[in-house]
Each structure stands twice: as structure tokens, then as C-alpha cells.
Structure 1
Amino acid sequence: MEITSETHSQHISKQFNHELEELKTHLMAMGGQVEKQVQDAIHALLEGDTRLAEEVCDNDQAVNDMQIKIDEECTRVLARRQPAASDLRLVLAVIRATSDLERIGDEASKIARNALALAEAGRGTPKGVIEVRHISEHVRKMVRDALTAFARFDTQLALSVAREDELVDNEYTTAMRSLMTFMMEDPRSISSILSVMWILRALERIGDHADNLAEYVVYLVKGLDIRHIDADKLDEAALKGKG
């Protein structure tokens, strides 16, 4: 059965309805916190704001705690309600999504730590900042759209996130090649460029996790696993979902 945002409010048990809504609400809260972590990490890097970078690192534990809390809630729902069909898909999708959100938080912390390293080196604006700014805009939008798709059970928006991931991967590859050239031309820049490379790698991984979130939306709504389907076939696959 294909589900909509209304599907999980139709149980005889009002308490079960409430528990499922709480799972979604807490997942969205975690998503909002993680999205802010990414935004703050990028801002700290681009503006040289070491205080904000340290704050991002300090807040990583809060994201971890949110994951643990939501996982415990999911475990209780599974044990008490023994959900089936779309209800089970929702609980499983939430469990998977919290794992990817926690990892996005980890990547944001990596960006913040490298921002601190660059600030401590004090060598001015490093090579690759333009690429970082551009790719970061892409991945931040991917995370935001993936969370919106989850909240609305919007498979089309989810599929757009999956397609965006291929663009990010291509931009990442191009940026890394460019930075390798800079290092060969100026060995003195190796240290700072390596930090930028780690930042770009973290951004690329954030894009991958956002793509995973989008795939969970399609699984949740359609009951279809699209993890190993090429992006150019995703529209057709979603339309043929088992529902």
C-alpha cells in the first residue's frame, strides 16, 4: 500500500497514532539540529569563526544523544505494537534515517575541526574555498530537501535529491583534481590544501547521506528499495513501486 501523510493517523489506538507521530517529530527535530550543524560548520570555515567551529564540535554529542533517544523509541514501538506493512516501514525508515543524520553530524564536526586547523595556520584564504562554498550550497539543499520529503512523504522531491547527488559527486571529483594540481605547483600549500580536501570529502559524504535519506522516503512511501538503481532510472522505478 502506498502511504500518505494521513496514513499513520488512522489507527484504532490513539496512543499508537501518537507514538508514530512522535517518531516523525523527533526525527525532524534531529534533522533540524544536524542541518544547523552543517550550516554553522560551513559558516565557521568561510568566515574564520573559530568560536562557532568549536561550538559545532561541542554540539556533536547532542546529535548522538538524539539518535540514541529515537532508537529507543523505535525499539519500544516494535516491541509493544509489532507494527506491520506501512507502519513497520515507517519505524525502519526512522531507524535508518537517524543513523545517516548522526553521520552527517559527524561530517559537520570534521569540517569544523579542519576550519580550526586552517584558522590556526593563519595563511589567509586557502585554495579551494570557492569550490567548498559551491558544493556546500548543493549539499545543504540536499539535506533540507531530503528532510522535507520525509516530512511530506514526497517521493518526487526525494528523487530530485538522488539526482542532485550525482552532480555533487562530479563537482567533488573536479575540485579534487584542481587541488592536486595546486599542491604540485606549490608544495608550501600542501598542508592547507589537505585540510580543504578533507572538508570537500566531508561535504561529499554529507551528500551521500542525504541521498540515503531520500531513498528511505521512497522505501517508506512505495515499499521499494532503490539503493542500487541508477539515478537516470529512478523516476521509472518509483512509478513501478509496489506500494
Structure 2
Amino acid sequence: MKKFTSMLIFLLMLGAGSCKISKDTPKVTANLPDHFRDQSDADTTSIADLPWNTFFADTILQKLIMSAIEKNYDMQIALKNMEAAQLILTQVRSGYFPQASLQLSSTSSRPSDNSLNGLSLNEFLGSSHIEDYTGVVNVSWEADIWGKIRNQQKSSLAAYLGSMEAGKAVQTQIISLITKGFYNLMMLDAQLAIARKNVALNDSTLEIIRLPVQCRSGEFSCCTAGTGSAATG
């Protein structure tokens, strides 16, 4: 008897412990400085706050970035993940409201004409079949006593914010790669233009060097031509 009583008390304590309402975990706040090094409150400008289409003024680069963002597969996947996370968050938030459902069904039965039901049906109702229509409305509401819906909402919100940050990271990577390639191409074009100018300058220098030699060779031929004409005369 004592063993049964102690077992019953243990089960009651275990059941009471399992019915305990969950508590929110306290947030740990880190001690962070108000300013970074010697930054003052008056200086509030930051490059990170500028949109990419205003940071890069080149219209060609803007078109390239926009086309890459719209057609990049990773960016499209990130956007779809954001949409899915937003829909899940909206669905979880609707858990606080009552849920209603409607069910409609219809059945039709035709007894045999030679049976008793068929004879009585034709005689009293003037029909050879029976139709039955049923409509059921179900209304339910879950009280968030144990914090189930609240915890699901927090998890869905964290997933949605994570998908947003992932999308921003993908967009930043795309912009960085496009911008780096664009300016590298501009640098190579500038180097090619400088190389062509150097080739033209070298050609001009070579012509300048060859010019005295051509003049001297021309004077020698003129003198030779003049001597020959005098001897002939």
C-alpha cells in the first residue's frame, strides 16, 4: 500500500511538472560602446546607407547590375525563400484567430423498383431516387496557454529575417562581382589605349631618328648627280 501511494505521489508530481507553463529566456545584453573610437554624433553619414544605384553613377554599370540581379539564379532563389518565409510567418500569425471550416456532401440512392422501398418511394414521393445533402460547419480556437503559437511566431520571424539577410548578402555579392569586373575592364581598356599611344610615339620617334639619315643620303645623291652632269658637259 505504501509503495502504491508513493508511486501515485510520484506520478502526480511528474504530471504537475509537465503542465508547467514555459517561460521566456531572458535576453543577454552585451556592453557595447556608444561610438566607434572617436566618432561623434554629428557625423551620421555612411556609405552602407546609400542605395547601390546612387552610389554608382555610371548608367552602363547600373544597367549591368540591374540585369544581373533580375536574371541571377541565386538571387531568384533567395527571393523565393523570402516569399515562402513571409507566407509561413503570415500563416503562423493567423493561429491566434479562430479557425472555421465548411464541409459539403451529397448522396443519391436509387432503390429497386420491385423492392418495398422502391414501390413506396414511387407511390408517396413520385420519385425513383433519394437525394441527401449534408453541410457541416466546424469552428475551433486554440488558446495559446503553453506558448506554442508564440514560439512558432518567433521561429518564423527569425527565419524570415534570416532569408532577408541572405538575400541582401547575395545581392551584395552580385553587385561586388559586376562592379569589379566592370572596372577591371575599364582598366584594361585604359591600358590598351596607353599602349597604342606608346606605339604611335615610338613610331614617331623612329621617324625622327631616320630623318637625318634620309636627308644625308639625299644630299649625297644630289651631289653625285651634279658632278656627272658637269663631266658630261
TM range (shorter): under 0.3
> Which one has a bigger Cα radius of gyration?
2
Q: Greater RCO between the two (CA within 8 Å, min separation 6)? A: 1
TM-score (norm 2): 0.25
TM-score, normalised with respect to structure 1:
0.24
More helix by share: 1
